[in-house]
Amino acid sequence: QFFVFCHGLLQLSQLLVSGYLKSSISTIERRYGLSSQTSGLLASFNEVGNTLLIVFVSYFGSRVHRPRLIGCGAILVSLAGFLMSLPHFITGPYKYDRSVASTFSNTTDLCQPGAPGAWANLSAASCTPHASRENHEVLLVMFMAQALLGIGGVPIQPFGISYIDDFASERNSPLYLGILFSVTVIGPGVAFMLGSAMLRFYVDIDKVGAAEVQLTNGDPRWVGAWWLGFLVAASLVALSALPYFFFPREMPKEVGEVLHTHTPRGFPVVLLRNLRHPVYLLVVLAQVNISAMVAGLATFMGKFLERQFSLTASLANMIIGAVNIPGAMVGIVVGGAILKRFQMSLRQCSALCVLGMLLCLLGAFPLLFLGCPTQKVAGVTYWDSSGFGHHDLECSAQCRCPEKGFNPVCGSNGVEYTSPCSAGCRNVNIDTNNSVLNYTECSCIPGPGLARPGTCGTGCSHLFVPFVVLSCLAGILASTSHTPSFMLILRSIQPEDKSFAVGIQFMLLRVLAWMPGPVLYGSAIDTTCILWERRCDRRAACRYYDNTLFRQRYLGLQFFFEVGAF
């Protein structure tokens, strides 16, 4: 029982490391200028190390000191977690365009006619050979950490489960495995809540004093302390790893009968026999579709909520961790309860799966229409009647604004401008602690010529609650098919192939869904970008998306996979 407790703790903290990355992905994109395709690849990269090794591990399972190997794996996972936070410590402080001079920069992004000098140095300074090298280093470290995370995770689950199954009594084994399984489901929820807590702190909390930080966490330039959660999670993994070095190689079995394990038949023979089995193949393909959908959702749902409903990263994570993931857990439990209550046959199991997916489709379809168009951004999504050009708005032409400035302001006319300079604002009012109250004398804004800092927002808050309710409902319905689909696999194949068939199933899910899923979603999201940030002449993170296209492609992809599963 102590082993089960330790293993639950270890699995939870391992999931914290891998799940936390998904909760802070939009923040890491903004901090290091990544496209969603790159961040999607990063998020799924831990599966690569994992998949390469998982077959060997399942094969050699009984011949090694399992607890000690689990301990070693956990140490690697912990190292990977610390490595993930390293970029924060090897790069300088986060720089962003600001209107109020600070100790870091005396430049300002207000309109200063006839003073091109101040601007020239701002755009040139940010692109040194060091800056572009630093970027490669950051990516290299993060991809290495993710690969290491995958490799370290290999022995944890299979060895833990087989160790428990070998030495628990037949009566208690399902209970123990059930406890572990529920932890696996709770884990991501906890990770998103951790993300929600950490992203409220400013990224350079350890490098600059509170007085220096002129941003609030609702600001489009805000970057939260993404690295802090990795330190917390990695420390937890390291703690959970310790007991494993003191467990024996074998335990006396709990009271109950002895198990006889079969020697595995030839590898290719079993593989072909299972893949030729129509029920097995079809169920696994359905699970591949569902998994691809979940992989993309988990990785980019936060980003979607942030953009579509103008939420902070912290609030978006809170919603996912407190509403969507518990919803999926409820669905899994309900599916299992229906199975048990009605003692379902295989045909009834498959009917339950089909029904669950059909209802899920009906719930998910309206989501495609719940959203708002992109806010009006001058020169990006909106040109007024005077029809001025793309970069150089006539009203702010004499300001000579840099193309890459980014410090959005919202004009009193309801139009957003990419910086106070592009709105032609010549004056800024600040309050006592150096944060901006408003901008005045803005030549591009008719009437009083006022602007407030920050984005205008999408004005979509009224659709937010219906969206969350419907998406949670669709999630509950889709996850009712989880347990019956596993039952279909376990009961339709020969008993001695069981563990092997489950291994192959996870392998296929990884290769066909968990790996390509986030990259596919990320690429689809990138196609909807209308203004890219430039860093050293490379395309960095996206500043503005076409919100309608973002919603249609992101949720459309999700719908496509749901139809596939159905």
In a domain, 122, yes or no: no
pLDDT (0 to 100) of residue 257: 46
* Higher pLDDT pick, 107 / 38: 38
CA distance 400 to 384: 20
CA distance 210 to 162: 51
Domain identity same for 307 and 441: no
pLDDT (0 to 100) of residue 116: 54
Residues in CB range of 272: below 8 A, 6 or more apart:
none
Per the CB < 8 A criterion, the answer to whether 374 and 381 are in contact is yes
Rounded average pLDDT over 325-346: 87
**Lowest mean pLDDT: which of 6-10, 36-40, 250-254, 521-525?**
250-254
C-alpha pair distances (Å), 25 with each of 21, 34, 295, 493, 510 = 6, 10, 13, 40, 20
Q: Which of 419, 453, 487 delimits the end of a domain? A: 453
Domain identity same for 313 and 235: no
Six-digit token string for 528: 């909807």
* Higher pLDDT pick, 259 / 546: 546
**Residue 93 clears pLDDT 70, i.e. is over it:** yes
* Higher pLDDT pick, 254 / 73: 73
Alpha-carbon dihedral sign for residues 541, 543, 546, 547: positive
pLDDT (0 to 100) of residue 258: 45
pLDDT (0 to 100) of residue 400: 77
Domain identity same for 41 and 97: yes
71-83 confidence digits (pLDDT tens): 999 999 999 999 9
pLDDT (0 to 100) of residue 141: 95
Largest Cα–Cα distance of the chain, in whole Å? 89
* Higher pLDDT pick, 365 / 182: 365
**Lowest mean pLDDT: which of 222-226, 260-264, 312-316, 420-424?**
260-264
pLDDT (0 to 100) of residue 473: 94
* Higher pLDDT pick, 43 / 53: 43
CA distance 309 to 370: 10
Per the CB < 8 A criterion, the answer to whether 484 and 339 are in contact is yes
**Lowest mean pLDDT: which of 197-201, 205-209, 238-242, 508-512?**
205-209
By C-alpha distance, which of 549, 543, 553, 476 is closest to 522?
553
Q: How confident is the model at residue 436 (pLDDT cuts 50, 70, 90)?
A: confident
Q: What is the mean pLDDT of the chain?
A: 85
Rounded average pLDDT over 239-264: 74
Q: State the residue range of the domain holding 430.
A: 390-453
pLDDT (0 to 100) of residue 544: 93
Percent of the chain with pLDDT over 90: 45
- Helix (H/G/I), strand (E/B), else coil: 112: coil
DSSP string, 248-289: -SS-PPPSSPPP-PPPPPPHHHHHHHHHT-HHHHHHHHHHHH
Q: Which of 426, 453, 480 delimits the end of a domain? A: 453
pLDDT (0 to 100) of residue 387: 45
Domain identity same for 190 and 323: no
Domain identity same for 443 and 475: no
DSSP string, 41-66: HHHHTHHHHHHHHHHHHHHHGGGS-H
Six-digit token string for 492: 């339709």
Domain identity same for 232 and 308: no
450-479 confidence digits (pLDDT tens): 999 888 888 888 999 999 999 999 999 999
In a domain, 526, yes or no: yes
Give CA 377 to chain center in angstroms. Answer: 27
Rounded average pLDDT over 182-208: 90
In a domain, 206, yes or no: yes
* Higher pLDDT pick, 170 / 488: 488
CB burial string 116-140: b at 16+ within 10 A, e below: eeebeebeeeeeeeeeeebbeebbe
Phi, psi angles (nearest 5°) of residue 453? -70, 155
What HEC string does 172-222 produce?
A: CHHHHHHHHHHHHHHHHHHHHHHHHHHCCCECCCCCCCHHHCCCCCCCCCC
In a domain, 479, yes or no: yes
How crowded is residue 275: how many other Cβ atoms within 10 Å of its Cβ? 13
Six-digit token string for 328: 């999926």
Per the CB < 8 A criterion, the answer to whether 504 and 493 are in contact is no
Domain identity same for 476 and 429: no
Domain identity same for 395 and 313: no
- Position 299: which residue type? T
In a domain, 263, yes or no: no
In a domain, 424, yes or no: yes
How crowded is residue 536: how many other Cβ atoms within 10 Å of its Cβ? 13
Domain identity same for 238 and 341: no
pLDDT (0 to 100) of residue 557: 95
Place of tokens 């009203």: 395
* Higher pLDDT pick, 85 / 388: 85
**Residue 261 clears pLDDT 60, i.e. is over it:** no
In a domain, 241, yes or no: yes
Q: How confident is the model at residue 427 (pLDDT cuts 50, 70, 90)?
A: confident
- Highest mean pLDDT among 206-210, 288-292, 332-336 belongs to 288-292
C-alpha pair distances (Å), 285 with each of 393, 489, 551, 562 = 53, 12, 26, 12
For the chain, how many structural domains are there in total?
3
- Highest mean pLDDT among 8-12, 99-103, 403-407 belongs to 8-12
- Helix (H/G/I), strand (E/B), else coil: 101: coil
For 411: left if phi > 0, alpha if psi spans -120 to 50, otherwise beta; the answer is beta
Domain identity same for 106 and 240: yes
Six-digit token string for 464: 């937010």
Domain identity same for 88 and 4: yes
C-alpha pair distances (Å), 183 with each of 8, 188, 229, 377 = 6, 9, 19, 45
CATH number of the CATH domain containing 62: 1.20.1250.20
Domain identity same for 9 and 81: yes
pLDDT (0 to 100) of residue 106: 54
CA distance 34 to 522: 11
Q: How confident is the model at residue 58 (pLDDT cuts 50, 70, 90)?
A: low
pLDDT (0 to 100) of residue 114: 65
**Lowest mean pLDDT: which of 9-23, 69-83, 108-122?**
108-122
In a domain, 523, yes or no: yes
pLDDT (0 to 100) of residue 120: 47
**Residue 262 clears pLDDT 60, i.e. is over it:** no
CA distance 468 to 320: 9
pLDDT (0 to 100) of residue 176: 83
**Residue 317 clears pLDDT 90, i.e. is over it:** yes
